[in-house]
Amino acid sequence: MTDISGSAALTTASDPAGVFAFYRGRPRPLAHFLCDVRNLAALWPARGEILNACADRYHFMVGLAAAAVAGRMTILPATHAAEVIKSLRDRMPDLHCLADGDVTVNLPTVRFPQPGPEVHAAPMPPMPRIPLDRPVVTVFTSGTTGAPVGHVKTWGSLVAGARAEAARLKIDDGPPWALVATVPPQHMYGLESSVMLGLHGRALVHNTRPFYPDDIVRALAAVPRPRLLVTSPVHLRALLASSATPMLDAVLCATAPLPRVLACEAEQRLHAPLYEIYGATEAGQIATRRPTCNDLWTLFPGLVLEARDQTFIVRGGHVEIPAALGDILEPTGPHDFRLHGRGADIVNVAGKRSSIAFLEQQLLAIPGVIDGAFYMPDEDLVGPVSRLTAFAVAPGLTAGAIEAALRTRLDPVFLPRPLVLVDALPRLATGKLPLAAMRQFLASHMAKARGGYG
């Protein structure tokens, strides 16, 4: 259990003139960041939680800090869909939105202020300290295994997690690392590995969220080495499919299973070690591994796995409240384990078992398949006999060609019926595919198919 007595500074950075982040093409000193935090905190409404919708990572960081210092809860839903916002507002009638661009959420909105000349000339404000037991963020699950659920994080748990991650990645000593991330800060992985690493891991965060390979290369070229790219398998696959070869010193990946072949290709092409983080919104980051060297995951210091009623509980370290994990784990020692996939990921067809993750790896390994996903629909959608369905983004390939390739890789009972070619999958910005989105995606395809035959 984390010691949550006392307080911690807003950031471990201490030099007022030292680089704190990279913002709009220029280094941003710590003194300017603290002025930005103070000025934004002065704009908060009299009460209520803050939904931080800032697309700019630096703006998000300032918003998170200003809310935490003022004792205001930051709310991070997985999506801004109208029904999600309505549900939040029903529970939090004083909820406000912090935005730095066009937003469509039906909430009173605070606009992120543009830094003025007076900010640059102002002396550094005192460093705020925040009680470690102060609840500062509610992060919602993405809905990949059901309805999104909110989980509260204290300042102490976030700080402890960031420091443990920085130590594990070996970026807490020596020159500061510049950090570029393709994942949004509103997700638990993005919050921990692209925001809190900037506040308490000595990383210098780049404010953008590049998506296309050329944008990633430009963002990395704009910051000094050593450079850390925080990304996901979806974004990494797109980067490797291009001719881009950014100069990197390390890659961090999470949000979905990473095939070993993709990890090997990444290290060879990018000339940098690749690390994976395993975690869950309920507990935050839990373990790391370097998949090209070891298939075992190593727990963060102080964490313990405990088997309980067909599942595993993680506790200790920066995990203040013991959390149940939805994955199938195989402990191999007090600090290591194998990950066999999500419990909800296992499918049983004709008495044979496999996992959605394994099936998707076989689909994505087919040359020409850019993206793909397997889905086992509910009976109420397809009738009493559910069959695996697969969607593939594969310009230039036919469904028949993909099916023929799958026949060489899969037991026939796991071949999809049907396999649907699509232009894109309904992924979140993190690369995840919520169950509700997949269900709606299949229902839309079935409606179009019925219309075509009618």
Q: In order of start, what are the domains of the chain with their CATH numbers?
A: 7-341 (3.40.50.12780), 350-453 (3.30.300.30)
Give the Cα separation of 215 and 230 in Å (integer). Answer: 14
Q: Which residues contact 206 (CB under 8 A, 6 or more apart)?
A: 21, 22, 57, 178, 179, 180, 181, 219, 222, 223
In the Cβ-directed half-sphere of 385, how many Cα atoms lie within 13 Å?
2
In 104-232, alpha helices (H):
117-121, 155-169, 188-191, 197-200, 213-221
Given a contact cutoff of 8 angstroms between Cβ atoms, the answer to whether 115 and 56 are in contact is: no
| Mean local confidence (pLDDT), 245-263 | 90
Length of the chain measured in residues: 454
Q: How far is CA 37 from CA 90, 201, 392, 454, in A?
A: 29, 19, 45, 60
| Mean local confidence (pLDDT), 339-344 | 70
| Mean local confidence (pLDDT), 236-265 | 90
Given a contact cutoff of 8 angstroms between Cβ atoms, the answer to whether 373 and 437 are in contact is: no
pLDDT digits 0-9 by tens, 288-327: 999 999 999 999 999 999 998 878 999 999 999 999 998 8
Confidence of residue 203 (pLDDT cuts 50, 70, 90): very high
At 236 the pLDDT is 92
pLDDT digits 0-9 by tens, 143-160: 555 567 899 999 999 999
Q: In what order do the strands lie in the sheet with 389-393?
A: 371-375, 389-393, 419-421
Mean pLDDT, the chain, whole residue set: 88
Q: How far is CA 237 from CA 3, 277, 325, in A?
A: 40, 17, 27
Task: Look at residues 243, 230, 235 and name the one whose alpha carbon lies nearest to residue 269.
Answer: 243
In the Cβ-directed half-sphere of 107, how many Cα atoms lie within 13 Å?
33
Confidence of residue 125 (pLDDT cuts 50, 70, 90): confident
pLDDT of 380 > 80? The answer is no
pLDDT of 452 > 50? The answer is no
pLDDT digits 0-9 by tens, 70-86: 999 999 998 888 888 99
Confidence of residue 215 (pLDDT cuts 50, 70, 90): very high
Joined together, the tokens standing for residue 167 give: 């130590």
